């Protein structure tokens, strides 16, 4: 064939592949205000940096060759804020981006490059599950599925970020759940199977939002880290998340310049905490005031709300913040808060991000429901993870700190250094309850039966809980006024740098399960 003819053939095939699943389907998406897969990739990557891997790949199933541009999953390399990443982006307009022979090879190829070369994986998910009929029957199953022994072996060598951007069953759901960060566009569904299949199987109409909508996953399951309104916001969230991450676990996260004015709000931080010990406040405001301006990036804000987990920068350095949030249940941690904190510590320890704990809690939630939710297992799982962490841990006690929660929130030797505000109070139990346990009798409360005695005993117990006694035992190393919290953290992050390894930790949590 002449060169010109070859060129024509190339252009024709290329145009066909780039046309995705055809104009009619693309128009439906446009009308719904949803980006198509190639627009999503353009929005994600630095302009002109996408090098596609497998543009001319197609299904090999008889009769499908011409109907499966890129076999429904677009893969390749591109730069995000100047750094290389490996991309898997599902094209729902081609057979619902279902998983089949060729596109499974494409995914493995991206994962291999990510792991071997140390670059993050990004998944833009929207998929209908395994392709039928390709995967049907014993031959389909035996040929296509189960052929990759490392596909789901998550060892956190490189950060994985995922967005759920539509109906997601099978593949997109699995990778979303395995990712270090999973953002969902509202209106998307993430579930094992579609509502259609579920409705058929159980003979009852199922509401897709209830089956796998954003409220379920942000409030109840915690399987997503964030819910947003548009495709663009979801992709922006992935870019923001990756800005806190190293490209792989053998390097430190990138340093950023400290924005002007970052010290200003830290000076007024005391005003955010009420003087009365019976009043609550929003710990997120305290954290925002202490970290570099505009660097606060909260994960799972609607899940396990008695705790806060956020990536942030302090003096330009990435830090993971774990806080109690008195605004919810007075900050008493429940099973969901334990899960949220544990998974956050796994993230930070895997990617060399120091941890800072902001503590104000009356203990763990107790009661029948707590036990049913496996509270003892969750608390000790949290504790187990905490003690395996090898990045520096720093603790600031703001106010209350009681019982086992004192230990879990990196109290005592569980932190590299501990500072306490003047308002910190520590004991095994809140004095209100302790007075009743020691001096009360079953079925009556001392504050009601003998208020004067209650007051006397309460004051004795409370006095013994003061920050001065804690400092006397050397369980806190510094007592600081609130306005010095930021400068204390900046200094301590420097003192506790892992100099022997250039900052790297040992990643002892790197194979911790992604949900449990």
Partner 1 sequence: MAREEVESEVTGTVWKIETKVGDKVAEGDVLMIIESMKMEIPVLATEDGTIAEFQVEEKEPVAEGQTVVVLET
- 369 near partner 1 (CB under 8 A): yes
DSSP-derived 3-state class of residue 355: strand
- 440 near partner 1 (CB under 8 A): no
Which DSSP helix (H) or strand (E) runs through 162?
strand 160-169
Among 328, 381, 408, 423, binds partner 1 (CB under 8 A): 328
Considering the complex, what minimum distance in angstroms separates the CB of residue 367 from partner 1? 8
Considering the complex, what minimum distance in angstroms separates the CB of residue 372 from partner 1? 12
Which DSSP helix (H) or strand (E) runs through 79?
strand 73-80
Give the x-and-dash track for 289-308 against partner 1 (CB under 8 A): ----------------x---
Return d(Cα 157, Cα 210) in angstroms, integer: 34
Q: Which of 415, 370, 378, 376 minimizes the C-alpha distance to 394?
A: 415
Considering the complex, what minimum distance in angstroms separates the CB of residue 356 from partner 1? 24
Among 172, 183, 227, 330, binds partner 1 (CB under 8 A): 330
The residues near 330 (Cβ < 8 Å, ≥ 6 apart) are: 280, 361, 362
- 327 near partner 1 (CB under 8 A): yes
Query: Which two structure tokens, joined as six digits, stand for 130?
Result: 């395994």
The residues near 416 (Cβ < 8 Å, ≥ 6 apart) are: 392, 393, 394, 492, 496
Inter-axis angle of helices 485-495 and 283-290, nearest 10: 60
Q: Which is nearer to partner 1, 118 or 208 (CB)?
A: 208
Q: Which of 175, 196, 160 minimizes the C-alpha distance to 90?
A: 175
Give the x-and-dash track for 463-492 against partner 1 (CB under 8 A): ------------------------------
Confirm if 95 and 67 have CB atoms less than 8 A apart.
yes
Which of 14-22, 164-172, 273-281, 487-495 is the region at the interface with partner 1 (rule: CB under 8 A)?
273-281
Query: Which two structure tokens, joined as six digits, stand for 280?
Result: 């609550």
Considering the complex, what minimum distance in angstroms separates the CB of residue 306 from partner 1? 8
Considering the complex, what minimum distance in angstroms separates the CB of residue 220 from partner 1? 12
Which of 4-12, 105-113, 325-333, 388-396 is the region at the interface with partner 1 (rule: CB under 8 A)?
325-333
Considering the complex, what minimum distance in angstroms separates the CB of residue 432 from partner 1? 5
Q: Which is nearer to partner 1, 72 or 213 (CB)?
A: 213
- 224 near partner 1 (CB under 8 A): no
Considering the complex, what minimum distance in angstroms separates the CB of residue 135 from partner 1? 38
Among 7, 148, 279, 460, binds partner 1 (CB under 8 A): 279
Q: Which is nearer to partner 1, 6 or 366 (CB)?
A: 366
- 216 near partner 1 (CB under 8 A): no
Among 197, 228, 258, 280, binds partner 1 (CB under 8 A): 280
The residues near 424 (Cβ < 8 Å, ≥ 6 apart) are: 397, 398, 399, 401, 467, 470, 476
Considering the complex, what minimum distance in angstroms separates the CB of residue 70 from partner 1? 38
- 85 near partner 1 (CB under 8 A): no
Among 186, 256, 329, 496, binds partner 1 (CB under 8 A): 329
- 332 near partner 1 (CB under 8 A): yes
Q: Which of 148, 67, 139 minimizes the C-alpha distance to 107?
A: 148
DSSP symbols for 363-415: -B--SHHHHHTTHHHHHHHHHHHHHH--S-EEEEEEEEEETHHHHHTT-GGGS
Q: Within a 10 A sphere around the Cβ of 239, how many other Cβ atoms?
A: 16
Considering the complex, what minimum distance in angstroms separates the CB of residue 238 from partner 1? 23
- Number of amino acids touching partner 1 (CB under 8 A): 14
SS3 of 12-78: the string is: HHHHHHHCCCCHHHHHHHHHCCCCCHHHHHHHHCCCCCCEECCCCCCCCCCCCHHHCHHHHEEEEEE
Confirm if 352 and 505 have CB atoms less than 8 A apart.
yes
Among 78, 246, 320, 362, binds partner 1 (CB under 8 A): 362
Which of 107-115, 132-140, 243-251, 326-334 is the region at the interface with partner 1 (rule: CB under 8 A)?
326-334
What does the binding site for partner 1 look like in residue numbers (CB under 8 A)? 278-280, 305, 326-330, 332, 362, 369, 430, 432
């Amino acid at each position: 064939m002449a060169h010109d003819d070859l060129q024509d053939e190339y252009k024709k095939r290329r145009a066909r592949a780039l046309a995705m699943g055809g104009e009619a389907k693309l128009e439906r998406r446009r009308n719904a205000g949803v980006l198509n897969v190639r627009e999503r990739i353009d929005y994600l990557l630095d302009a002109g940096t996408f090098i596609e891997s497998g543009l001319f790949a197609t299904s090999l199933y008889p009769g499908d060759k011409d109907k499966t541009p890129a076999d429904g999953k677009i893969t390749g390399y591109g730069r995000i804020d100047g750094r290389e990443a490996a991309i898997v982006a599902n094209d729902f307009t081609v057979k619902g981006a279902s998983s089949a022979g060729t596109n499974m090879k494409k995914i493995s190829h991206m994962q291999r490059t990510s792991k071997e070369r140390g670059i993050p994986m990004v998944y833009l998910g929207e998929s209908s599950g395994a392709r039928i009929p390709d995967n049907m029957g014993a031959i389909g199953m035996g040929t296509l599925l189960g052929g990759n022994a490392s596909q789901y072996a998550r060892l956190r060598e490189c950060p994985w970020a995922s967005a759920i951007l539509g109906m997601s069953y099978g593949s997109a759901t699995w990778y979303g759940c395995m990712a270090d960060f999973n953002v969902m566009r509202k209106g998307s569904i993430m579930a094992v199977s579609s509502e259609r299949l579920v409705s058929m199987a159980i003979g009852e109409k199922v509401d897709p939002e209830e089956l796998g909508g954003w409220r379920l996953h942000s409030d109840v399951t915690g399987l997503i880290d964030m819910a947003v309104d548009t495709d663009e916001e979801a992709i922006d969230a992935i870019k923001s998340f990756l800005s806190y991450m190293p490209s792989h676990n053998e390097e430190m996260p990138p340093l950023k310049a400290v924005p002007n004015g970052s010290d200003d709000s830290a000076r007024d931080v005391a005003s955010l905490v009420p003087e009365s010990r019976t009043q609550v406040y929003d710990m997120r405001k305290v954290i925002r005031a202490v970290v570099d301006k505009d660097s606060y990036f909260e994960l799972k804000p609607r899940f396990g709300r008695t705790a806060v987990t956020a990536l942030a920068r302090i003096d330009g350095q990435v830090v993971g913040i774990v806080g109690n949030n008195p605004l919810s249940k007075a900050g008493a941690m429940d099973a969901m808060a334990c899960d949220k904190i544990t998974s956050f510590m796994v993230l930070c320890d895997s990617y060399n991000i120091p941890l800072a704990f902001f503590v104000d809690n009356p203990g763990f939630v107790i009661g029948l429901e707590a036990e049913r939710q496996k509270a003892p297992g969750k608390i000790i799982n949290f504790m187990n993870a905490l003690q395996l962490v090898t990045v520096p841990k720093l603790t600031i006690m703001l106010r209350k700190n009681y019982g086992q929660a004192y230990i879990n929130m990196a109290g005592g030797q569980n932190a590299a250094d501990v500072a306490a505000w003047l308002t910190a109070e520590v004991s095994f139990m809140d004095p209100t309850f302790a007075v009743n346990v020691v001096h009360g009798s079953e079925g009556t409360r001392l504050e009601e039966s003998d208020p004067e005695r209650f007051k006397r005993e309460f004051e004795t117990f409370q006095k013994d809980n003061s920050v001065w006694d804690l400092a006397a035992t050397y369980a806190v190393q510094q007592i600081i006024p609130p306005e010095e919290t930021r400068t204390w953290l900046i200094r301590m992050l420097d003192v506790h740098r892992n100099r022997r390894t250039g900052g790297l930790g040992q990643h002892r949590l790197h194979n911790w399960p992604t949900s449990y």
